[in-house]
Structure 1
Amino acid sequence: MRLSNLADYAVVIMSAAARAGHGARLSATVLAEETGIPLPTTQKLLGKLAAAGLFRSARGGGGGFVLTRGPGEISLADVVEAVEGPIAMTTCVDEGRQCCALEEACQVRPQWSVVNNAIRGALSGVSLASLSGVH
């Protein structure tokens, strides 16, 4: 399993926001400059992260993006799911999705949810605070 570049960049942006301090207002330009992520990509990711409820945005002179929770309350799973959608190792663990041609006879399918839950649990156990070195 490999994170997409966008998910990786989202973690970098969230870590930069965590280091700025809870309550700090950050612009897309500042985050792009600090992280080295191109401004259009930073803007796109900030929109996704805000839509997922990880940032609150405000327009105007005093505007910018503010973390909605402290870095210790945001997990790596929260960030990855904001960009990638629900963590699902295979389509078998997606509710309501047709799995594959082997679905009827597959002996492994019932175990994928165990694997998926273990991976999601591991990502949930890593806080933004620990990733960014903020305590």
Structure 2
Amino acid sequence: MRLSSLADYAIVIMGAAARHCGGSRVSAAGLAEETGIPVPTAQKLVSLLTRAGLLASVRGQGGGIKLARPSAAISLADIVEAVEGPIALTACVESGRHDCALEGSCSVQPHWSAVNQAVRGALGEVTLASLAAKGKVTEMRA
């Protein structure tokens, strides 16, 4: 399993935003410059992360972007799901999906839900605060 570049970059963007959590706001362009992520990608991620309630955006004089809640209350699972949608290693566990040739005869399918919950649980235990404290956020970029 590998995170998409977009999910990886979202974690980097959130780490950079967390470094500004002392009340100061930063722009998407500022986050892009700080992280080395292209501006259009940073803007797209800021939009997705704001829509998911992880970032808050304020327009006008003194506006910008900041974390919508404390970094200790934001998990890697929250960030990944904001970009990728629900964490699922296979499509067959998603409701309404019926595109597998083995559907109906697969002996593994009933177990994917538990696997998905374990992966989500592991990602849910890692907070943005703990990641930033260990200095690993910017090192995750490819």
TM range (shorter): over 0.9
2:131 counterpart letter in structure 1: L
- Structure 2: segments with no counterpart, 5+ residues: 135-142
Poorly superposed stretches of 4+, deviation over 2 Å: none
The RMSD of aligned alpha carbons is 1.3
* Corresponding residue number in structure 1 for 2:6: 6
Cα displacement (A) at 1:99? 4.6
- 1:62-119: per-residue Cα shift (whole Å, max 9, x none)? 1111211100000000000111111110012212221511111111110011111100
Deviations 1:44-63 (A, max 9, x none): 11001001111111111211
Partner residue in 1 for 2:113: 113
Q: 1:37 to 1:82 in 2, by over 3 A?
A: same
Percent of pairs with identical residues: 63
1:127 Cα deviation (Å)? Answer: 0.2
> Mapping of 1:49-128 within 5 angstroms?
49-128=49-128
Any idea what SS the aligned residue of 2:56 has?
A: strand
Q: Confirm whether residue 45 of structure 1 aligns to residue 45 of structure 2.
A: yes
Q: Distance in 1 between matches of 2:15 and 2:66?
A: 13
CA contact under 8 A between 1:77 and 1:124: conserved in structure 2? Answer: yes
* TM-score for the superposition, normalised by structure 1: 0.94
Q: How big is each residue's C-alpha offset from its partner over 1:6-61, in whole Å with a ceiling of 9 and x where there is no partner?
A: 11010001001112225331111211111111111111110010011111111112
Deviating more after overlay: 19-28 vs 109-118: 19-28
Alignment partners' CA distance in 1, 2:41 and 2:121: 28
TM-score, length of structure 2 as denominator length: 0.89
Answer yes or no: is 1:28 the counterpart of 2:28.
Answer: yes
Unaligned runs of 5+ in 1: none
Q: How many residues align?
A: 134
Farther-moved stretch of structure 1 (80-89 vs 16-25): 16-25
CA–CA distance in structure 2, aligned partners of residues 85 and 114 of structure 1: 18
